[in-house]
Amino acid sequence: MHAIRNLKMCEKECLCLYVCPTGATDTETGQIDFTKCIGCGMCVRSCPSKALSLVPDLYPLQQPKAAEICDAVFAQARCRVAAESLCRGAAEAARDPIRKQTAEAMELSFRRQAEDLYREGGYMIPQSPNVRRMLEAMAESDDPAFPKQAAARLLELLQRQGR
């Protein structure tokens, strides 16, 4: 285990910078030196802004999922997609700006939930232009060992789906 810091939450002038028994936390920059961190958690327990947490050094391999589990995950995802569609309609019909904003926020929330569920079920969701750019770079790779055809096929499927 090692400590990590969420810089957006960090107030920088906290006790957590000074309690590390190995000096892994740099008091000038707030950065954590992973070569010194022993994962004792003293900094995490003393951080008033909850900007520090412990993460494992090694994560377990993803376990295969049974078909029944995937079916249940996909059923939940379909419910989120239906809710997203309802919220989209509510946002389009809303006259009050607050109701419109709330419906749009709920629509986005249901979209993210569905994407997470589909990923959990084993699907890659190409929701950003970054995925397309990555696949294009892979399809143009000069490495003979790289499966360029697979990247080209994924791009073709994305175009068919209008993404």
pLDDT band at 96 (very low <50, low <70, confident <90, very high): very high
Higher pLDDT, 62 or 43: 43
Going by C-alpha positions, the residue among 20, 12, 13 that lies closest to residue 45 is 20
- Asked if residue 76 lies in contact with residue 120, where contact means CB atoms within 8 angstroms, the answer is no
14 vs 2: CA distance, rounded Å: 19
Mean pLDDT over the full length of the chain:
84
DSSP code per residue over 119-141: HHTT-----SHHHHHHHHHHHT-
Average pLDDT of span 93-103: 95
pLDDT at 117: 87
pLDDT at 61: 67
pLDDT tens-digit readout, 101-111:
999 999 999 99
| Residue 140, token pair as written in the block | 């143009």
Going by C-alpha positions, the residue among 80, 92, 6, 77 that lies closest to residue 44 is 6
Average pLDDT of span 149-157: 84
4 vs 51: CA distance, rounded Å: 8
Average pLDDT of span 132-146: 78
pLDDT at 78: 92
CB-based burial label for 108 (10 Å; 0-12, 13-18, 19+): middle
| Residue 141, token pair as written in the block | 């790779």
